[in-house]
């Protein structure tokens, strides 16, 4: 079934800003990424604010702020409350990005856009997925499934595949990398063939990338020259994304003895550097479940350990019950398979026999705890007044005395807690002379222009939407795709805040159905769908809502023609609304980009006395070979003779040149029986 597909660009088109797009698939709306730039531009927030209550799910592709930076603000300040999907590394590294971003800003200014609590609240909503894990959505998203695939740009970076009813396939692939690197494999493209819609970026569409070996040599040469010249090297990297590639590369260089860099210090500096390294290690360390014989052996060992521990515990309890200080004690040390409760107490070898004299027992080592002797007088235990003082009053008196003594001496109190003193940030502008040489070496981990074009040509999408890139790069990529795709591909380059209508079928629109109309429909089952004929009247005066159904243009036009005479003389406002709705419904089919209509018309039932008749419509294309099996199951002899299906030597079933199925033969009982079986292969409305 064809779906209504629209993409609204909230940010990240024809420029290198943060990425944020609203994708509508029928009634369901995805927010593709929720990025924020380094300047925290409120234009992105204002665009998001208008649609935040329509969003049903958020799909995050990468962990850096350009892809999820606005998520804490959207959850904490805008009230975004929906399912958020991301891979496990994006969840972990995304937190590190946002913690570091907040701490860096908080250390230098009064940063109030969001707090660490907002970050935690936003990431608590994330549902963590594994690569290639298919998630079937429920509710409004019934029939939709999402699958994360590796993008190869950052750890956890994702290409999202969205499938509607197993037919419409939408691929959201931005910032992908097809090349294998030290810490990541390339993106997965074998599962992305001939999608209905591809949403991708033109960030590197015109970029020619140097070879990796050349870039590594350039980095090593610059580092060696600077360090041997008594200089320092500062590499500006992100928090938890591409830094992992550079960290592994530099670690390999530092371990190489021929490089001679072991005498120089190498450090990773940011607010969460330790956690970043530990989280990245956790993605590589995975324990494997025991299976088969290994699992049986492990369970048997655990059973023996428990039995031995139980027997030892029972023997100890028996010894305790029978022991007495006046009795003869006998210590027998037995090897035990279980862990002792006191690691400091070591058991001796062999056995020790008892004697007639009491011997000193072993005692567990402990810190010295001398007991103070209690002094008594004629009235009982001697009372110490300091033991009965209230601690708060005692501390207050001590602080008061210290404060008075300090003020009389002209000094400030020395025990004041500096952390309780209110502080503020002040900013000033100063000119600083920096003596440094700046060099750019590409380690961004994105595919270059030629590779992007080859990948798109290999995928052969039916429709392509180009976002996030300079205008000249987007134009170059669009022209290249039109050149190798020809008429088989539609290319869109939307501007900011514009909506692309990427619906596969042009004669498909969205309307509301009245309950009275739905209850009067008679559905006919056809495979996995149910069909019904509708006779109704379009009402253009209903404000837009978020729900709707799909109808064909032919039915809508017929109903509108039948209902033109029944609409009362409308007011000026209703005329304007009707014009907008009609323009939305039956406007120019060649229109590619436009604002979303503010009116969704309502379809009301036509009065019974005005319902026109219609010819029966047969829905399905049965094959004669399948129909032959149906006849055989019903006990009717059937065989092909020259492409014609002959039944009981009396009735012939043939397919004409126009594709219609004809039934020929004498009017007998078999004829009507075969005709009824043939009708059952269709959905007749």
DSSP-derived secondary structure letter, 420: G
Give the integer Cα–Cα distance in Å for 682 and 53.
43
User: Residue 539 has what pLDDT?
Assistant: 79
User: Residue 284 has what pLDDT?
Assistant: 67
For residue 283 the two structure tokens come to 């993605």
387-444 pLDDT tens trace = 777 665 555 555 656 555 554 444 444 455 555 678 777 888 889 888 899 999 999 9
Residue 269 belongs to domain spanning: 212-276
100-140 pLDDT tens trace = 999 999 888 888 999 999 999 999 999 999 999 999 999 88
365-386 pLDDT tens trace = 666 677 777 788 878 888 877 7
Q: Which residues pair with 508 in a beta bridge?
A: 552
Higher per-residue pLDDT: 538 or 357:
538
* Residue 582 to residues 2, 35, 541, 544, 553, Cα–Cα distance (Å): 21, 36, 11, 14, 12
331-332 and 197-201 as β-strands: parallel, antiparallel, unpaired? unpaired
- CATH number for the domain spanning 642: value is 3.30.310
Per-residue pLDDT, averaged over 538-558, amounts to 49
Residues 661 and 678 sit within 8 Å (Cβ to Cβ): yes
Among 477, 501, 525, the domain-final residue is 501
pLDDT of 545 > 80? The answer is no
Residues 531 and 524 sit within 8 Å (Cβ to Cβ): yes
Same domain, 202 and 238: no
On the 0-12 / 13-18 / 19+ scale of CB atoms within 10 A, 363 is exposed
DSSP-derived secondary structure letter, 36: -
* Residue 54 to residues 47, 160, 461, 640, 641, Cα–Cα distance (Å): 13, 20, 28, 57, 60
Query: Is residue 113 in some structural domain?
Result: yes
**Among 653, 650, 645, CA closest to 675:** 653
Same domain, 221 and 199: no
Rounded to 10 degrees, what is the CA torsion of 396, 401, 402, 408?
140
Specify the DSSP element, H or E, that contains 363.
none
Same domain, 97 and 204: yes
Query: Is residue 672 in some structural domain?
Result: yes
pLDDT of 332 > 50? The answer is no
Same domain, 22 and 142: yes
DSSP-derived secondary structure letter, 593: B
User: Residue 16 has what pLDDT?
Assistant: 77
Same domain, 41 and 152: yes
Query: Is residue 506 in some structural domain?
Result: no
Specify the DSSP element, H or E, that contains 100.
helix 88-106
559-590 pLDDT tens trace = 433 433 333 434 444 445 455 545 544 444 44
Query: Is residue 329 in some structural domain?
Result: no
576-635 pLDDT tens trace = 545 554 554 444 444 444 444 456 788 887 777 777 777 777 777 777 888 888 888 888
Give the integer Cα–Cα distance in Å for 250 and 248.
6
pTM for this predicted structure: 0.66
pLDDT band of 17, cuts 50, 70, 90: confident
Residues 137 and 145 sit within 8 Å (Cβ to Cβ): yes
Query: Is residue 245 in some structural domain?
Result: yes
Q: State phi, psi for 163 to the nearest 5 degrees.
A: -120, 135
Query: Is residue 65 in some structural domain?
Result: yes
**Among 610, 614, 541, CA closest to 579:** 541
Give the integer Cα–Cα distance in Å for 623 and 679.
13
Same domain, 186 and 250: no
Give the integer Cα–Cα distance in Å for 55 and 661.
48
Give the integer Cα–Cα distance in Å for 446 and 506.
35
Query: Is residue 552 in some structural domain?
Result: no
pLDDT of 544 > 70? The answer is no
Give the integer Cα–Cα distance in Å for 75 and 341.
49
Q: Which residues pair with 511 in a beta bridge?
A: 549
Among 242, 276, 310, the domain-final residue is 276
Higher per-residue pLDDT: 558 or 146:
146
Q: Which residues pair with 602 in a beta bridge?
A: 512, 539
Same domain, 216 and 197: no
Mean pLDDT value across the chain: 79
Rounded to 10 degrees, what is the CA torsion of 493, 495, 497, 501?
-30
Same domain, 186 and 219: no
Residues 337 and 308 sit within 8 Å (Cβ to Cβ): yes
For residue 60 the two structure tokens come to 């995050």
Per-residue pLDDT, averaged over 236-249, amounts to 92
Sign of CA dihedral 45, 50, 52, 58: negative
Same domain, 30 and 166: yes
Same domain, 658 and 673: yes
pLDDT of 508 > 90? The answer is no
Q: State phi, psi for 83 to the nearest 5 degrees.
A: -70, 140
351-352 and 331-332 as β-strands: parallel, antiparallel, unpaired? antiparallel
For residue 517 the two structure tokens come to 């109309």
Among 501, 520, 538, the domain-final residue is 501
Same domain, 60 and 88: yes
- CATH number for the domain spanning 87: value is 3.60.15.10
pLDDT of 355 > 80? The answer is no
Q: Which residues pair with 150 in a beta bridge?
A: 158
Give the integer Cα–Cα distance in Å for 452 and 484.
13
Give the integer Cα–Cα distance in Å for 250 and 462.
43
**Among 592, 512, 589, CA closest to 549:** 512
* Residue 454 to residues 138, 190, 207, Cα–Cα distance (Å): 36, 14, 14
Question: Highest mean pLDDT: which of 150-164, 482-496, 498-512, 529-543?
Answer: 150-164
pLDDT of 353 > 50? The answer is no
Within its chain, how far is the Cα of 226 from the centroid? 42
Query: Is residue 602 in some structural domain?
Result: no
User: Residue 486 has what pLDDT?
Assistant: 76
Same domain, 56 and 183: yes
Q: Which residues pair with 645 in a beta bridge?
A: 640, 653
Q: How many structural domains comprise the chain?
A: 3
């Amino acid at each position: 079934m064809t779906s209504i597909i629209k993409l609204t660009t909230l940010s990240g088109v024809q420029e290198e800003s943060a990425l944020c797009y609203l994708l509508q698939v029928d009634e369901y709306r995805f927010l593709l990424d929720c990025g924020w730039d380094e300047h925290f531009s409120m234009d992105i927030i204002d665009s998001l604010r208008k649609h935040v209550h329509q969003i049903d799910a958020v799909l995050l592709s990468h962990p850096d702020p350009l892809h999820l930076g606005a998520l804490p603000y959207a959850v904490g300040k805008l009230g975004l409350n929906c399912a958020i999907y991301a891979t496990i590394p994006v969840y972990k590294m995304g937190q590190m990005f946002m913690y570091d971003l907040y701490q860096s800003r908080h250390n230098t200014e009064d940063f109030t856009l969001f707090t660490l609590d907002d970050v935690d609240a936003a990431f608590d909503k994330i549902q963590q997925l594994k690569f290639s894990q298919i998630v079937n959505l429920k509710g409004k998203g019934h029939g939709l499934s999402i699958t994360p695939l590796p993008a190869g740009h950052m750890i956890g970076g994702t290409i999202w595949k969205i499938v509607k009813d197993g037919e419409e396939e939408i691929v959201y692939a931005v910032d992908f990398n097809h090349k294998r690197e030290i810490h990541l494999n390339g993106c997965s493209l074998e599962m992305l063939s001939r999608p209905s819609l591809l949403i991708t970026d033109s960030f590197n569409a015109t970029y020619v990338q140097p070879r990796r070996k050349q870039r590594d040599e350039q980095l090593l040469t610059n580092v060696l020259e600077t360090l041997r010249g008594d200089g320092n090297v500062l590499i500006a990297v992100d928090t938890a994304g591409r830094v992992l590639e550079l960290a592994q590369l530099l670690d390999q260089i530092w371990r190489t003895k021929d490089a001679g860099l072991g005498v120089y210090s190498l450090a990773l500096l940011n607010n969460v550097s330790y956690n970043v390294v530990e989280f990245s290690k956790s993605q590589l360390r995975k324990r494997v479940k025991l299976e088969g014989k290994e699992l049986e052996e492990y369970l048997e060992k655990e059973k023996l350990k428990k039995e031995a521990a139980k027997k030892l515990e029972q023997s100890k309890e028996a010894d305790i019950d029978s022991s007495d200080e006046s009795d003869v004690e006998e210590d027998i040390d037995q090897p035990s398979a279980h862990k002792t409760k006191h690691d400091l107490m070591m058991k001796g070898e062999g056995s020790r026999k008892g004697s007639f004299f009491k011997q000193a027992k072993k005692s567990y080592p402990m810190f010295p705890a001398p007991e103070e002797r209690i002094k008594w007088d004629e009235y009982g235990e001697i009372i110490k007044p300091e033991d009965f003082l209230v601690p708060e009053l005692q501390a207050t008196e001590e602080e008061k005395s210290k404060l008075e003594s300090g003020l009389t001496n002209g000094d400030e109190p020395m025990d004041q807690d500096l952390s309780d003193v209110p502080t503020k940030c002040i900013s000033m502008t100063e000119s600083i002379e920096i003596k440094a040489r700046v060099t750019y070496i590409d380690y961004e981990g994105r595919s270059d222009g030629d590779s992007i074009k080859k990948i798109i040509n290999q995928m052969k999408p039916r429709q392509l939407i180009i976002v996030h890139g300079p205008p000249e790069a987007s134009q170059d990529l669009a022209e290249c795709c039109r050149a190798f795709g020809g008429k088989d591909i539609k290319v869109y380059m939307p501007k900011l805040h514009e909506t692309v209508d990427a619906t596969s079928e042009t004669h498909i629109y969205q309307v509301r159905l009245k309950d009275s109309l739905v209850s009067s429909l008679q559905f006919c089952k056809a495979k996995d769908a149910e069909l019904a004929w509708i006779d109704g009247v379009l009402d253009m005066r209903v404000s837009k809502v978020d729900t709707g159904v799909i109808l064909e243009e032919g039915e809508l036009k017929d109903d509108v023609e039948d209902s033109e005479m029944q609409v009362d003389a409308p007011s000026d406002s209703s005329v304007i609304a009707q014009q907008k709705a009609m323009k939305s419904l039956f406007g120019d089919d060649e229109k590619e980009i436009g604002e979303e209509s503010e009116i969704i018309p309502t379809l009301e039932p036509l009065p019974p006395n005005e319902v026109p008749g219609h010819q029966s419509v047969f829905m399905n294309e049965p094959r004669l070979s399948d129909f032959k099996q149906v006849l055989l199951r019903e006990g009717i002899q059937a065989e092909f003779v020259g492409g014609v299906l002959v039944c009981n030597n009396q009735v012939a079933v043939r397919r004409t040149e126009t594709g219609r199925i004809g039934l020929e033969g004498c009017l007998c009982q078999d004829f009507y029986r075969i005709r009824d079986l043939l009708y059952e292969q269709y959905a007749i409305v």
